[in-house]
Amino acid sequence: MAHPHSMPMPDMSNAIVAQDEMGRPFIIVRDQSTKTKSSGLDALRSHIQAARQVSDILRTSLGPRGLDKILISPDGDINITNDGATILTEMQIENEIAKLLVELSKSQDDEIGDGTTGVVILAGALLDQALKLIEMGIHPIKVANGYEKASKIISNHLDNIADEINIDKNDLSNNLLDSSDLFKAAKTSLGSKIVNKNHNQFAKMAVESVLKVADFNRNDVDFELIKLQGKLGGSISDSKTINGVCIEKDFSHPQMKKIINNAKIAILSCPFEPPKPKTKHKLEISDVDEFKNLQKYESEKFIQMIDSIKNAGANLIICQWGFDDEANSLLLANDLPAVRWVGGSDIESIAIATKGSIVSRFEDLSSDKLGHADKVYEVEFGTTRDKMIIIENNEDNSAKSSLERTHVNTVTNLIRGSNKMIVDESIRSLHDSLCVVRNLIKNNKIVYGGGSVETSCSLKIMEEADKQKGIDQYAFRAFSQALDVIPMSLAENSGYNPIEELTKLKAAQISKNSPHLGIDCLGNNNNNMKELFVIETFIGKKQQLLLATQLTRMILKINNVIVSGKDQY
């Protein structure tokens, strides 16, 4: 037995025996204070914990009863939102693995435009379940391969439970918009947004905008033709869809006409002033006559410019550059309303909306290069001095095919609100709704929401797990449990007992053999999502499940994060 006062022997495994100059031996013990490198399991655990923290932040924002987050920028600006992509973009995330979840939500947002919260929550749940298996001794690669097999089964299962909705491009012209499936789908997507009290109005705006620019020959929608523009003042209910373009400018002279019907627009990218040499120059005037000649030359040039505009038949000028008071007064005298200092992007939008050409020289101006609009008018907002020019086409040719259209439509959704936060969040909400309608134009297959899809897929994977041999059955069961996080989060955010609701839901789906049953978040006393028309786009849900699985597989294959040549765990 060791003496109670004896000292413990030091660890000599890293010791080196050396000799001094007299030949006497002594022991050198290496420094044990340096941080011992963590094992591969510890590294993977830290990666998954970082991803879980991000996922847990978004979990409370899922569904129509989800909570909002206040985002405070470094400058002190406040933003309130429950949009997953916006929350992750604004967050200051230092961990490299957690940043992958930010990229995941961006991918979902860029490709689909909706489901950014759900895809991050699902990825976090998959990683959490994977960690439990890895701690049991299962290799991460085995888990990742099992997840991939499960995702393929889910992809096939989604094809079997998906339904198709009716897409009728004539709904807009036949005034059947409020009863259309597209309208109902857009309305569903707005249920969890800040504009849910005006969801009928915003859903109608979304469907109108998409149908006016949709190309049904290719089943595609060019989002460049749909503008979202916010303007402070008024209420959300004052928002509207304009069949044209809005620019935040006013007419160059206060006495110019404020309304131009049947506008023929000269779109100029050249300055409204006399020509100047392109190189450096110096002009010397020695007497009065030379000055008068210069003045006469400038006046003649201005008159030539006015004449070229009038000869082309234009009755409105949109100029990218400015012009001085002399040019302004000449335009007023010749009854030619003008707008100056219009930005390059606005000039391009006007050219597309009016099917006009952007002219860089007055000599090139002709009648066939003019843009055409049914009405151009200036509006003022309340008691402020804010003004806006609206270039509008009243012709509604949305029912025609893209080959029969007389010109390309450009649609602007003017969003109003009492403050910047409401306007910004309303724009994000409308963008998500537009994406849902766009996705249905691309592919009219749908699945039902409320966690019904995830529950049905969870039951399917659990059923397939019993057929697997070896380690894959553990990965299948883990995948099934990860899918349960969506209905559980919806139930928890709606004030229900999540485990109790999930148990009831699974039992109901099995007994009734119905994949349409989900969580009744809004208290409708009906959990049949098909009857309530709570839907999600098929391509959106499929992309969500595949992206979450692929990111999980990627993280499971990472054991080191190397920064500047050093191992970071």
Q: List, for residues 493-522, the tens digit of each pLDDT value.
A: 888 899 999 999 999 999 988 888 998 887
Alpha-carbon separation of residue 182 from 189, 203, 443, 533 (angstroms): 11, 9, 12, 11
Cα-flanking dihedrals φ and ψ of residue 228, to 5°? -115, 115
User: Bridge-partner residues for 379, per DSSP?
Assistant: 388
Q: CB neighbours (10 Å) of residue 435?
A: 24
pLDDT for res 33: 36
pLDDT for res 122: 92
Q: CB neighbours (10 Å) of residue 424?
A: 18
Distance of alpha carbon 275 from alpha carbon 272, whole angstroms: 9
Q: Is residue 263 classed as helix, strand or coil in its secondary structure?
A: strand
Extended beta strands in 32-125, E state: 69-72, 78-81
User: Bridge-partner residues for 18, per DSSP?
Assistant: 26
User: Which contiguous run of DSSP H or E holds residue 28?
Assistant: strand 25-29
Domain 40-164+447-568 = CATH 1.10.560.10: yes
Per residue in 311-321, pLDDT tens? 888 899 999 88
Ranges 206-215, 391-400, 539-548: which has the least confidence: 391-400
34, pLDDT greater than 60: no
Give yes or no for a contact between 471 and 146, defined as CB atoms under 8 angstroms apart: yes
148, pLDDT greater than 60: yes
Give yes or no for a contact between 183 and 207, defined as CB atoms under 8 angstroms apart: yes
pLDDT for res 293: 79
User: Which contiguous run of DSSP H or E holds residue 110?
Assistant: helix 96-111
pLDDT for res 485: 92
pLDDT for res 333: 87
Calculate mean pLDDT across residues 479-505: 91
Domains 40-164+447-568 and 244-395 share a fold: no
480, pLDDT greater than 90: yes
Average pLDDT, the chain: 81
Report the helix count and the strand count for the chain, using DSSP H and E: 17, 19
Distance of alpha carbon 205 from alpha carbon 100, whole angstroms: 34
Report strand pairing: 371-380 vs 387-392.
Answer: antiparallel
Q: CB neighbours (10 Å) of residue 526?
A: 11
Distance of alpha carbon 359 from alpha carbon 319, whole angstroms: 10
Distance of alpha carbon 247 from alpha carbon 408, whole angstroms: 18
Distance of alpha carbon 463 from alpha carbon 321, whole angstroms: 68
Sign of CA dihedral 233, 234, 235, 237: negative
**Pair of tokens at residue 38:** 């963590």
Alpha-carbon separation of residue 253 from 324, 333, 390 (angstroms): 11, 11, 17
Per residue in 61-109, pLDDT tens? 888 888 888 888 888 888 888 888 888 888 878 778 888 888 888 888 8
**Among candidate residues 104, 99, 62, 112, the one with its CA nearest the CA of residue 83:** 62
Helices 485-493 and 452-465: angle between axes, nearest 10 degrees:
150
pLDDT for res 503: 92
Calculate mean pLDDT across residues 408-432: 85
Architecture of domain 244-395: 3-Layer(bba) Sandwich (3.50)
Calculate mean pLDDT across residues 541-561: 86
Q: CB neighbours (10 Å) of residue 225?
A: 20
Distance of alpha carbon 505 from alpha carbon 515, whole angstroms: 10
**Which one has a higher pLDDT value, 199 or 488?**
488
481, pLDDT greater than 90: yes
Calculate mean pLDDT across residues 181-185: 83
Please state the domain extents for the chain.
40-164+447-568, 244-395
Calculate mean pLDDT across residues 460-489: 90
564, pLDDT greater than 70: no
What is the CA angle 218-414-245, rounded to 5? 65
pLDDT for res 40: 63
* AA letter at 386: D
Per residue in 19-30, pLDDT tens? 666 666 655 544
Calculate mean pLDDT across residues 274-285: 65
Distance of alpha carbon 184 from alpha carbon 194, whole angstroms: 18
